[in-house]
């Protein structure tokens, strides 16, 4: 059963690209070996590989025992984070939607309206605050931390506010670590060798998910199973990486991830960050975009079928969504009762599968090569497996593309401008130049 937790179907990749992909299997296997041996480019960031066995289970135990000692009642968790410090948690929460309390998100934007909406909801809750930032300097999270700290201190006074605040940050340095030391807050560490977008199975994801009542042990076990099984040749991560690079070489510069249920939207966003930030550099990289099935067939379906032929499509299909089966009732339209007779006695799940298969065929016929990632079931275990699969595939894919899949120097450019325009001292002359360009 474990063997088929995840399969890749490449039948609807056109022949020329499949041939290229075959040629890339051997370099992809090499890249995989270098990842496992930690001899690859960016090797100092490969701590995500086999993390559950290395540290994850231990960290998870520590989190569980902390949770059993929390001195105050709580029925809500507010997670402050952005990018890699947020998207993995949102992915799990959106996909599984089973929490024992309210899980709210802030610190990922500079929207006063969104911030105020979360603050309003807290009036009916007893919240804990989890703030996640490696440096503690991330603007959006730092701003939200001030707003929510202020709220907690006014409501609970300083001592209890600190007890309701949990920090996930660098083990030694940075302003959040300094804050937690000075105020005696509970703190967890982000490992030094795991980058933000590869961190969902570290304390970054485990702390808020465990607090919200998700089964983080199952999440780790799913990832662990992937790492344990993948030391063999039919590695789906190798196949996925080789296929998308083959498509890229054949001028497919965009990958559309078409996911089988709107509940997977945050998971798709997590995938988009993982691949976009890992590969979009040095003037190259597949642009990752996403599409919800079947909703977005009524928005992007026309483009996929008949627009510019520069796309690879990847279907994310889940065989068992673990939701109650919904039978379609008989037709309420007596006047035209026979027109949709083919719907009768089908479940929504069956119709969704038919729609997706129809789309795979139609897009292939329209000239869009497509593959499917088929996950056998959507639970914490399956998600853990999928996270590990995609992170591994991303490391391999970046190596094939010839980039370092673990850095992100490009995000510094707007940040430098921002600090100057926001008035950080020492940057006055840069700020003046920028302002003159904006006038």
In the region spanning residues 32 to 71, those forming contacts with a second copy, defined by CB under 8 A, are none
Inter-residue contact 92 to 209 (CB < 8 Å):
yes
x/- contact string, 171-210, with a second copy (CB under 8 A)? ----xx-xx-xx----------------------------
Choosing from 28, 257, 304, 316, the residue that interacts with a second copy (CB under 8 A) is: 304
Q: Indicate the burial class of 1 (C-beta count within 10 angstroms; 0-12, 13-18, 19 or more).
A: exposed
Alpha carbon distance 254, 247 (integer Å): 9
Residue 15: CB minimum distance to a second copy, A: 14
Active-site residue 298, yes or no? yes
Nearest to 352 by CA among 375, 319, 374, 330: 319
**Residue closer to a second copy, measured from CB, 13 or 225:** 13
List the interface residues with a second copy, window 403-432 (CB under 8 A): 408-411, 413-425
Active-site residue 415, yes or no? yes
List the interface residues with a second copy, window 233-292 (CB under 8 A): 253-254, 261-263, 269, 272-273, 276-277, 279-285, 287-289, 292
CA–CA distances in Å: residue 164 to residues 107, 127, 129, 310, 354:
17, 7, 6, 50, 48
Show Cβ contacts of residue 339 under 8 Å, excluding neighbours closer than 6 positions: 333
Residue 37: CB minimum distance to a second copy, A: 27
Show Cβ contacts of residue 241 under 8 Å, excluding neighbours closer than 6 positions: 24, 28, 31, 393, 394, 396, 397, 400
Residue 75: CB minimum distance to a second copy, A: 19
Choosing from 39, 343, 402, 428, the residue that interacts with a second copy (CB under 8 A) is: 343
Inter-residue contact 389 to 226 (CB < 8 Å):
yes
Alpha carbon distance 401, 381 (integer Å): 30
List the interface residues with a second copy, window 80-139 (CB under 8 A): 82-84, 87, 97, 108-117, 136-137, 139
**Residue closer to a second copy, measured from CB, 57 or 331:** 331
Phi, psi values for residue 194, rounded to 5°: -130, 120
Among 19, 415, 428, 432, the active-site one is 415
List the interface residues with a second copy, window 357-396 (CB under 8 A): 357-363, 365-366
**Residue closer to a second copy, measured from CB, 217 or 266:** 266
Active-site residue 424, yes or no? no
Alpha carbon distance 395, 384 (integer Å): 17
Give catalytic residue positions.
277, 298, 415
């Amino acid at each position: 059963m474990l063997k088929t937790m995840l399969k890749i179907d490449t039948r609807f990749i056109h022949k020329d690209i499949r041939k290229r992909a075959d040629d890339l299997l051997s370099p992809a296997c090499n890249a995989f070996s270098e990842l496992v041996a930690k001899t690859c480019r960016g090797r100092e960031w490969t701590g995500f590989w086999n993390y559950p066995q290395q540290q994850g289970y231990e960290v998870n135990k520590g989190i569980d025992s902390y949770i059993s000692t929390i001195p105050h009642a709580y029925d809500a968790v507010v997670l402050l984070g952005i990018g890699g410090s947020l998207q993995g948690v949102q992915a799990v929460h959106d996909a599984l939607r089973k929490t024992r309390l309210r899980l709210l998100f802030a610190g990922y934007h500079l929207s006063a309206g969104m911030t105020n909406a979360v603050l309003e909801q807290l009036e009916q809750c007893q919240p804990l605050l989890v703030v996640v930032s490696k440096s503690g300097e991330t603007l959006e999270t730092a701003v939200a931390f001030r707003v929510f700290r202020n709220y907690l201190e006014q409501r609970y006074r300083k001592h209890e506010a600190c007890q309701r605040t949990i920090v996930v940050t660098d083990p030694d340095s940075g302003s959040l670590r300094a804050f937690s030391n000075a105020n005696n807050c509970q703190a967890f560490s982000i490992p030094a060798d795991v980058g933000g977008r590869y961190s969902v199975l570290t304390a970054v994801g485990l702390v808020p998910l465990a607090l919200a009542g998700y089964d983080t042990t199952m999440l780790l076990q799913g990832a662990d199973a992937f790492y344990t099984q993948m030391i063999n040749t039919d590695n789906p991560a190798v196949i996925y990486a080789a296929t998308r690079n083959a498509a890229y070489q054949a001028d497919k510069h965009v990958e559309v991830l078409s996911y089988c249920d709107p509940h997977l939207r945050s998971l798709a966003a997590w995938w988009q960050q993982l691949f976009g930030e890992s590969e979009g550099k040095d003037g190259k990289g597949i642009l990752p975009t996403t599409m919800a099935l079947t909703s977005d067939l009524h928005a992007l379906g026309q483009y996929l079928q008949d627009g510019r032929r520069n796309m690879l499509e990847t279907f994310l299909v889940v065989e068992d969504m673990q939701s109650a089966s919904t039978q379609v009732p008989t037709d309420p339209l007596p006047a035209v009762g026979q027109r949709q007779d083919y719907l009768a006695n089908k479940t929504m799940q069956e119709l969704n599968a038919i729609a997706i298969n129809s789309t795979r065929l139609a897009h292939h016929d329209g000239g869009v090569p497509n593959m499917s990632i088929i996950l056998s079931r959507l639970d914490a275990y399956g998600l853990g497996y999928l996270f590990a699969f995609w992170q591994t595939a991303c490391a391999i894919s970046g190596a094939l593309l010839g980039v370092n899949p673990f850095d992100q120097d490009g995000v510094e450019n707007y940040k430098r401008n921002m600090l100057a325009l926001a008035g950080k001292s020492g940057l006055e002359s840069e700020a003046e130049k920028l302002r003159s360009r904006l006038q």
